[in-house]
Amino acid sequence: MASTQPFSLSPASLQRRRWLRLAAGGGAAALGVAALVGPTGWAQQLGDFIEGPPVRDIPARQLSPHVWMVFAQDGFPTPQNQGMMANVLFVVTSAGVVVIDSGGSLQIGQMAIRMIRKVTPLPVIAVFNSHYHGDHWLGNHAFAAHYGPQLPIYALTGTREKIQGAEGNLWRSLMERWTNQATLGTQVVAPNQTVHNGQVLNFGDVSLVMHHYGTCHTPSDLCVQVVQDRLTAVGDIAMANRIANLDDGSYEGTFKYYQALRTSAGAQLWVPGHGEGSTDLLQTYGEFMAGIWEPCLKAVQAGAPESTAKAAVLADRRVARRATTMQGFDGNIGKYVSLAYLEAEKLAF
Ligand SMILES: [Zn+2]
């Protein structure tokens, strides 16, 4: 599995490295053009014309009467998988196809369209973006290009604003970097419609209920419930076999979100953006998260240092039993203990 290191690169360090690489490669001449390099410089203009290669077909699998999934095998982006690291779901309704998360590039979105067309001749009539991490929405470009710029793309307000802002373009360039430019040509197409918790949207014979209960994996995680199928797409609030990025998230918020979602939606097939869906996904991932959170909270309350908290987390059976098989565990567990410890400190003082 690929190194998860790129996920810890800050925007500033990324820009600096790119600048340094270009400057070092071209010597004095490059220094003259270095000022042009960046989101508005020639590097991006070049990217607008050069497209990375197509992504190999991944036939869609039916999960329920209306819902299909284009499954992402890997949890992290590499040049080999070309950024195919998040599931693309689609709902075939009598009125057309509704896509939930559009993939991590133009090329992945194009592949998803090919897979949809193998299942149904109906057009895509709406796209939902679960949150602002680029592996879930950079494929919007393909859908807007194919079905027209009027295609409704729905998200929570926070997600829409982040994608419209610097975060959108940052994700575009990060994905290019992680895939060694395989996603070149992808443009940021932000959501153009806003949804909120409790909203019901009807598409033909299918009703979709919107869920959002505060900060979880990010401050704006949308879960989409496909009412007739008792299936809910949960984005990244829970993962089957991958440790979640929690840089903008909250442990406490995660437990609260799960409780509110369960109360509102009832028993569901919970389908994550990474890995397989299951009816006990919130239960199993929630136990793992509690195995990180509770020892950290205890350590903070006892005045013990972070190293003590980390040892307790690694010894916790809820964490230990997942450690050897979970994608990204070794590279990320230290960071997520730190985040839990920090959040516990804030809570305690
Ligand atoms: Zn995410």
Separation of 246 CA from ligand 1 center, angstroms?
8
Both tokens of 147, joined, read 């079905």
Q: What is the mean pLDDT of each run of 10 residues along the chain (349 residues)?
A: 39 38 37 43 60 96 98 94 97 98 98 98 98 98 98 98 97 97 97 98 98 98 98 96 87 97 98 97 96 96 96 95 89 93 90
Residues 123, 219 share a domain: yes
Q: Which residue has the tokens 């807007």?
A: 144
Greatest Cα pair distance in the chain: 63
Residues 140, 172 share a domain: yes
Q: Which residue has the tokens 């602002």?
A: 132
The pLDDT of residue 57 is 98
Per DSSP, what are the bridge partners of residue 327?
A: 242
With respect to residue 244, please indicate whether it lies within any of the assigned structural domains: no
Residues 223, 113 share a domain: yes
Separation of 304 CA from ligand 1 center, angstroms?
31
Q: Which of 160, 166, 161, 185 shows the shortest CA–CA distance to 175?
A: 185
The pLDDT of residue 66 is 98
| Domain limits for position 88 | 61-234
Separation of 322 CA from ligand 1 center, angstroms?
20
With respect to residue 120, please indicate whether it lies within any of the assigned structural domains: yes
Residues 94, 220 share a domain: yes
Residues 305, 223 share a domain: no
With respect to residue 280, please indicate whether it lies within any of the assigned structural domains: no
Q: Which of 284, 248, 266, 64 shows the shortest CA–CA distance to 171?
A: 248
Residues 77, 33 share a domain: no
Separation of 159 CA from ligand 1 center, angstroms?
11
Which strand ranges, in their side-by-side order, compose the sheet holding 200-203? 200-203, 206-211, 223-226, 231-235, 269-272
With respect to residue 227, please indicate whether it lies within any of the assigned structural domains: yes
Both tokens of 202, joined, read 């009807």
- Among residues 204, 234, 264, the one where a domain terminates is 234
Residues 206, 83 share a domain: yes
pTM score:
0.85
Separation of 134 CA from ligand 1 center, angstroms?
8
Residues 173, 295 share a domain: no
pLDDT in tens, 7-19: 433 343 344 333 3
Both tokens of 57, joined, read 């077909």
Question: Angle at which helices 329-348 and 281-301 pack, to 10 degrees?
Answer: 60
With respect to residue 243, please indicate whether it lies within any of the assigned structural domains: no
Separation of 217 CA from ligand 1 center, angstroms?
7
CB atoms within 10 A of CB 145: 16
Residues 205, 296 share a domain: no
Separation of 303 CA from ligand 1 center, angstroms?
32
With respect to residue 182, please indicate whether it lies within any of the assigned structural domains: yes
With respect to residue 137, please indicate whether it lies within any of the assigned structural domains: yes
Residues 114, 30 share a domain: no
The pLDDT of residue 245 is 81
- Among residues 190, 215, 234, the one where a domain terminates is 234
231-235/269-272 β-pairing: parallel
C-alpha 178/C-alpha 185 separation (Å) is 15
Separation of 87 CA from ligand 1 center, angstroms?
12
C-alpha 162/C-alpha 170 separation (Å) is 10
> What CATH number is given to the structural domain containing 225?
3.60.15.10
**Going by C-beta distance under 8 Å and a sequence separation of 6 or more, which residues neighbour residue 21?**
none
Per DSSP, what are the bridge partners of residue 93?
A: 96
Per DSSP, what are the bridge partners of residue 208?
A: 201, 226
The pLDDT of residue 11 is 40
Separation of 299 CA from ligand 1 center, angstroms?
28
Q: Which residue has the tokens 């995680």?
A: 221
Separation of 336 CA from ligand 1 center, angstroms?
14
C-alpha 341/C-alpha 349 separation (Å) is 12
With respect to residue 339, please indicate whether it lies within any of the assigned structural domains: yes
Residues 72, 32 share a domain: no
The total of structural domains in the chain comes to: 3
Separation of 72 CA from ligand 1 center, angstroms?
14
Separation of 218 CA from ligand 1 center, angstroms?
7
The pLDDT of residue 45 is 57
Separation of 212 CA from ligand 1 center, angstroms?
15
Separation of 44 CA from ligand 1 center, angstroms?
24
Mapping DSSP onto H, E and C, the string for the chain reads CCCCHHHHCCHHHHHHHHHHHHHHHHHHHHHHHHHHCCCCCHHHHHHHHCCCCCCCCCCCEECCCCEEEECCCCCCCCCCCCCCCCCEEEEEECCEEEEECCCCCHHHHHHHHHHHHHHCCCCEEEEECCCCCHHHCCCHHHHHHHHCCCCCEEEEHHHHHHHHCHHHHHHHHHHHHHCCCCCCCCCCCCCCEEECCCCEEEECCEEEEEECCCCCCCCCCCEEEEHHHCEEEEECCCCCCECCCCCCCCHHHHHHHHHHHHHHHCCCEEEECCCCCECCHHHHHHHHHHHHHHHHHHHHHCCCCHHHHHHHHHHCHHHHHHHCCCECHHHHHHHHHHHHHHHHHHHHC
Q: How far apart are the first and last CA of the chain?
A: 39
Residues 90, 15 share a domain: no
